[in-house]
C-alpha cells in the first residue's frame, strides 16, 4: 500500500535516549527540560527570535484569533484545511472569503481590499502547500487599513522567503508539527511573533493565563505540549537534511516524468526556498480526477484530495461563490510524497497516472 504520506520515524534508539532523560527528570509536562531544549534548537534551525511550541497546530490559530480577532470579520482563504476557517467560527469571529490565485493557490491579494469593511479586524491567510502568500502586498494592505495579519503556516516548516524564515512575516505565524508534516512531534504545533509584547501574550494564553504559578495576566487555555512529544521532536530534528533531500528527490522524479501537457502543477512563488511538503496536480476536470484516483486506488495507491471541498461551500460557513477556489478544489490531487518512496514505486505510480490522463 502506498499512502499519500507516511510519518517519518527516527531510529527508535534515538527516541529511547530522549525518553530516558524524561524518566531521569521525572518531569512529564509543563515546559520541562526537553521542551525548552527543543524550542532553542528550533529557534536556531529556523533562524527566528521567538517560538512557542504547542500541543497541536490548531490551538495556535485559535489563540491568535482570541488575541487579535476581537469578534470581527476575518478575511481568509477558502482553499485551506478546514481548521483555518473552523478556528475563526470557534472564536466567535466571522470568516470573509477571498478567492485564490490560480497558479500559486494562495489568497489573491488583489481581491483583499474589496472585502474589507469597518468590521474587519484581521487577515488570516494560508501559505498553501508551503507556498508563501504575497506577504509584501498583504502587509501594505494591512498597514493601510490598520489590520492584523495571521499566517496559517502549517505546511511551511523550513520555508524561507526573500532570505528569511516565512515565520517572520505577519503579526503571528502558526505551524503544525502533526505526524504527517515534514518536522513533527507526533501531535504539536508552534506560534511565532516578532513583537515581544505579543509573544508574551501568546505565552500566557497557551498556559491558562498564568504568568508564574500564582499570577494571571488574562484569559488562557491549555496549549502546552508534553515532554514525550518534545522527545519525538528532538529525535526527528537531526534528520531534517535527510528528510528534505529525500522529498526533493521524489518531487524531482515527478517533475521529470509526469505528463505535464495534461496537468497543472503548483507554481512556487519567486524568491522562495521551498520545503517539498506536498506534490499537488491539477487535472482538467473532476471526471478526470476521479478516474485517475480510482485507477490508483485499485492498485493500492492512495493520493488525497487536498483541499476539497472549497471551504466557502461548507454549510456552517455559508460563503459567497469563489470560482477559482471551487474549480481548483474539484480538480486537485496530492500525489504520494514521503522519504521512503523508491524510484520503482514512483515509476509504478506514474505509469498508472499517465495512462489515465
Could you say which of 220, 238, 256 is where a domain stops? 238
Report the alpha-carbon distance of residue 152 to residue 174 in Å, rounded. Answer: 5
> Which residue would you say has higher pLDDT here, 217 or 227?
227
Shared domain check, 306 and 227: no
Of the residues 238, 257, 272, which one is the last residue of a structural domain? 238
- Those residues whose C-beta lies under 8 Å from the C-beta of residue 349, and which sit 6 or more positions away, are 2, 296, 301, 335, 336
CA–CA dist 328, 332 (Å, integer): 6
How many domains would you assign to the chain? 2
Same structural domain, 218 and 273: no
Whole-number pLDDT of residue 26: 98
Same domain, 270 and 224: no
Can you give the residue range of the structural domain that contains 115?
3-98+106-238
Q: Does the pLDDT of residue 214 top 90, yes or no?
A: no
In this structure, are 282 and 328 located in the same domain? yes
In tens, the pLDDT along 162-198 reads: 999 999 999 999 999 999 999 999 999 999 999 999 9
Give yes or no: residues 233 and 312 share one domain.
no
Question: How far apart (Å, rounded) are the C-alpha atoms in residues 64 and 231?
Answer: 26
Compute the mean pLDDT over every residue in the chain, rounded to the nearest whole number. Answer: 97
C-alpha cell at 165: 524564515
Q: What is the CATH number of the domain that holds 178?
A: 3.40.640.10
What pLDDT digit, counting tens, does each position of 287-299 carry?
999 999 999 999 9
Query: What does the pLDDT read at residue 216?
Result: 85
How confident is the model over 231-271, as pLDDT tens digits?
999 999 999 999 999 999 999 999 999 988 889 999 999 99
| Single residue among 238, 265, 297 that ends a domain in this structure | 238
Q: Where does the pLDDT of residue 212 fall: very low under 50, low under 70, confident under 90, or very high at 90 and above?
A: confident
Contact 184, 157 (CB under 8 A): no
Reported confidence tier of residue 357, pLDDT bands at 50, 70, 90: confident
31 and 176 both lie in a single domain: yes
Q: What is the pLDDT of residue 54?
A: 98
Do residues 149 and 171 both lie within one domain? yes
Same domain for 204 and 310?
A: no
Could you report the per-residue pLDDT of 100-155, keeping only the tens digit for each?
A: 999 999 999 999 999 999 999 999 999 999 999 999 999 999 999 999 999 999 99
Res 318 pLDDT > 80: no
Looking at the structure, tell me whether residues 207 and 293 fall in a common domain.
no
Amino acid at each position: 500500500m502506498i499512502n499519500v504520506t507516511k510519518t517519518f520515524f527516527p531510529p527508535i534508539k534515538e527516541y529511547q535516549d530522549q525518553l530516558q532523560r524524561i524518566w531521569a527528570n521525572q518531569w512529564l509536562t509543563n515546559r520541562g527540560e526537553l521542551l525548552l531544549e527543543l524550542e532553542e534548537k528550533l529557534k536556531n534551525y529556523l533562524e527566528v527570535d521567538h517560538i512557542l511550541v504547542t500541543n497541536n497546530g490548531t490551538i495556535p490559530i485559535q489563540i491568535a484569533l482570541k488575541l487579535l480577532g476581537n469578534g470581527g470579520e476575518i478575511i481568509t482563504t477558502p482553499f485551506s484545511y478546514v481548521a483555518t476557517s473552523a478556528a475563526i467560527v470557534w472564536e466567535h469571529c466571522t470568516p470573509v472569503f477571498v478567492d485564490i490565485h490560480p497558479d500559486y493557490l494562495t489568497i489573491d491579494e488583489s481581491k483583499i481590499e474589496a472585502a474589507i469593511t469597518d468590521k474587519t479586524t484581521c487577515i488570516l491567510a494560508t501559505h498553501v502547500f508551503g507556498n508563501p502568500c504575497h506577504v509584501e502586498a498583504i502587509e501594505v494592505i494591512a498597514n493601510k487599513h490598520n489590520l492584523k495579519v495571521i499566517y496559517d503556516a502549517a505546511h511551511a516548516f523550513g520555508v524561507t522567503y526573500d532570505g528569511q524564515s516565512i515565520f517572520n512575516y505577519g503579526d503571528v505565524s502558526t505551524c503544525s508539527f502533526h505526524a504527517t508534516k515534514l518536522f513533527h512531534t507526533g501531535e504539536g504545533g508552534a506560534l511565532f511573533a516578532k513583537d515581544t509584547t505579543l509573544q508574551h501574550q501568546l505565552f500566557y494564553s497557551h498556559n491558562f493565563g498564568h504568568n508564574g504559578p500564582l499570577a494571571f495576566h488574562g484569559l488562557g487555555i491549555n496549549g502546552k505540549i508534553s515532554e514525550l512529544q518534545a522527545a519525538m521532536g528532538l529525535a526527528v530534528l537531526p534528520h531534517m537534511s535527510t528528510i528534505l533531500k529525500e522529498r526533493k528527490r521524489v518531487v524531482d522524479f515527478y517533475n521529470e516524468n509526469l505528463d505535464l501537457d495534461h496537468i497543472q502543477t503548483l507554481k512556487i512563488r519567486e524568491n522562495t526556498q521551498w520545503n517539498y511538503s506536498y506534490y499537488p496536480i491539477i487535472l482538467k476536470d473532476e471526471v478526470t480526477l476521479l478516474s485517475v484516483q480510482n485507477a490508483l486506488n485499485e492498485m493500492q495507491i492512495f493520493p488525497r484530495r487536498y483541499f476539497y471541498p472549497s471551504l466557502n461551500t461548507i454549510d456552517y460557513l455559508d460563503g459567497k461563490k469563489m470560482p477559482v477556489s471551487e474549480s481548483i478544489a474539484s480538480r486537485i490531487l496530492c500525489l504520494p510524497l514521503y522519504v521512503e518512496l523508491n524510484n520503482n514505486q514512483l515509476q509504478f505510480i506514474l505509469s498508472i497516472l499517465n495512462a489515465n490522463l
